Structure 1
Amino acid sequence: MLKDEKAIVVFSGGQDSTTCLLWALKQFKEVEAVTFDYNQRHSLEIECAKNIANELGVKHHILDMSLLNQLAPNALTRSDIEVTDGGEGELPSTFVPGRNLLFLTFAGVLANQVGAKHLVTGVCETDFSGYPDCRDVFIKSLNVTLNLSMDYNFVIHTPLMWLNKAETWKLADELDAFDFVREKTLTCYNGVISDGCGECPACKLRQNGLDDYMKERI
């Protein structure tokens, strides 16, 4: 427990980052959330993040990262690009090059300004959809780089790193937030809150994990 410390949570309003925000509220004395506006396909994602932060009483920062959209067109920012899984060694069309690198770097700058030494992110290597910037080795490398770049002793926490989606649902349940996470978060690539559209890769991953956890929960 780090009840005398302050943390910044990288927060999208989705299942994973909301679970991490709830986890952080149990771990730290003070928690703030930061959401990045990179002209993602659904502005509802930002509204969802605002609503959750407000309901939980968490100070919420929204930073403009629209340059990312210009540099790295992808299915999360362009409606004319189809959402597809990666095949034959290719990355999914939803991969945004540099996203977690930039998000965590800017979160580190913010943390330095507000006196927080802990960063929390919902990246996961178990169900990471092929994204290279969700791997543990990347987080450990970036943690060292951030510390050196600012001469500031950050710790990046990844509560979900080795959890599959069923175990992430279990963690939300252990945090007494199962219904909250299920009903109020937006994971769907098509912008449907709660259980989503049921068709996109994010919804299928979320639902499969939920189904597996519900077998255990009964």
Structure 2
Amino acid sequence: MISAALAREAGHQIFALSIDYNQRHQVELAAARRIARALGAVRHVVLPIDLSAFGGSALTAEIDVPKDGVGGDIPVTYVPARNTVFLSLALAWAEAAGARSLYIGVNALDYSGYPDCRPEFIAGFERLAELATKAGVDGEAFRIHAPLQHMTKADIVREGTRLGLDLGLSWSCYDPTPAGTHCGLCDSCRIRHKGFEDAAIADPTIYAVTPPAP
């Protein structure tokens, strides 16, 4: 959401891509549709690609989402190569559409330790885009923008507020309740809530339980 808003602020038109990878938290796709409308996206594509066929993650297989806080290891909510898959699809659309700037909302500070959120990954993918596309071979460089990468969650909340966004439209939870609320206990809920607390900005999120510290 905030990454897309920053793209708009930089003068870009928004072509939004969401991936329906048969994730546990399908509610995030409804949130993505609301956000795309709110930001005035020229087009919003929801592309189905069923990563549950591979499994290997609590988000795509019958594995419990951890609820005991952020640990030191890469958690089971990591989806194998997810951001590589997502950026590859975004790159394909960008090349077809004649776009050369791709924005992704990864963060490498207040996060769960996913390897495909790191600066090294973004830099490596940008190099791949140069090598793997006709546009790149023709000298038309792609730029992978990750404007939130070095921000704390509090910084991100403040930035969203500066941009005038309704942060209640966004979604973070990995294990939504049957009522469609944030669970309050998964890593993502805990990190989200702490970001609002640290920013001293009211959290508009509805949680099943108030998130404890990460």
TM-score by length of 2: 0.83
Answer yes or no: is 1:157 the counterpart of 2:145. Answer: yes
- Could you tell me which residue of structure 2 aligns to residue 32 of structure 1? 15
Q: 2:116 aligned to 118, 133, 152, which one? A: 133
Q: 2:164 aligned to 176, 199, 208, which one? A: 176
Q: Offset at 1:151? A: 3.7
Q: Offset at 1:186? A: 1.3
- Could you tell me which residue of structure 2 aligns to residue 65 of structure 1? 49
Q: Which amino acid aligns with 1:166?
A: A
Name the SS for the 1:28 alignment partner. Answer: coil
- Could you tell me which residue of structure 2 aligns to residue 51 of structure 1? 34
Is there any run of 5+ residues in structure 2 with no aligned partner, and where? 136-140, 202-214
Q: Offset at 1:28? A: 2.5
CA distance in 1, matches of 2:70, 2:132: 33
CA distance in 2, matches of 1:207, 1:157: 25
1:86–1:130 Cα contact (<8 Å) kept = no
CA deviation digits over 1:121-154, x for unaligned, max 9?
Answer: 0111112311011000111011001111004311
Q: Offset at 1:160? A: 0.6
2:19–2:46 Cα contact (<8 Å) kept = yes
CA distance in 2, matches of 1:154, 1:194: 37
Give the root-mean-square deviation of aligned CA atoms: 2.1
- Could you tell me which residue of structure 2 aligns to residue 186 of structure 1? 171
Answer yes or no: is 1:123 the counterpart of 2:133. Answer: no
CA distance in 1, matches of 2:144, 2:180: 28
CA deviation digits over 1:39-94, x for unaligned, max 9?
Answer: 0113221111112212322110111221x22123311123x31112675x642010
- Could you tell me which residue of structure 2 aligns to residue 83 of structure 1? 65
Q: Offset at 1:203? A: 0.7
Greater share of residues in helix: 1
- Could you tell me which residue of structure 1 aligns to residue 84 of structure 2? 101
CA distance in 1, matches of 2:158, 2:34: 23
CA distance in 2, matches of 1:86, 1:52: 27
2:24–2:60 Cα contact (<8 Å) kept = yes
TM-score by length of 1: 0.82
- Could you tell me which residue of structure 1 aligns to residue 200 of structure 2? 214
CA deviation digits over 1:4-45, x for unaligned, max 9?
Answer: xxxxxxxxxxxxxx1111111111331110000100113221
